Amino acid sequence: MMGRETKEAPGAVAQPLFATTHWSVVLATADQDSPEAAAALEQLCRTYWYPLYAYIRWRGYSLEDAQDLTQQFFATLLRKDYFRRADPERGRFRCFLLRSLQNFLINEWNRAQSRKQGGGAITIPLALDEAEHHYTREPVTTLTPELAYERKWAMTLLEQVSSGLRHEYVEAGNGRVFDELAELLWGKDAAISYARIAEHLDMTEGAVRGAMHRLRVRFRERLRTEVAHTVADFGEVEDELRHLLAVVSQSDSLWA
Q: Cβ atoms within 10 A of the Cβ of 84, count?
A: 9
> Rounded CA gap, 160 and 102, in Å?
25
pLDDT at 39: 79
Are residues 247 and 150 in contact, defined by beta-carbon separation less than 8 angstroms?
A: yes
Q: Which residues pair with 231 in a beta bridge?
A: 92
pLDDT tens for the chain, 256 residues: list them.
333 333 344 444 343 434 466 777 777 665 556 777 777 777 788 888 899 999 999 998 998 888 888 888 888 877 755 665 555 455 788 888 898 899 889 876 666 555 555 544 555 666 676 777 777 677 767 778 998 899 899 989 999 999 999 999 999 999 999 999 988 886 555 555 788 899 999 999 999 999 999 999 999 999 999 898 888 787 888 999 999 888 876 444 444 4
pLDDT of residue 124: 64
Nearest to 216, CA basis, from 173, 252, 191? 252
DSSP state of 231: B
CB atoms within 10 A of CB 222: 19
Angstrom distance (rounded) from CA 244 to CA 237: 11
Q: Residue 23 in contact with residue 44, Cβ under 8 Å?
A: yes
pTM of the predicted model as reported, rounded to 2 decimal places: 0.72
Which residues, 6+ apart, have CB-to-CB distance to 112 below 8 Å?
Answer: 72, 76
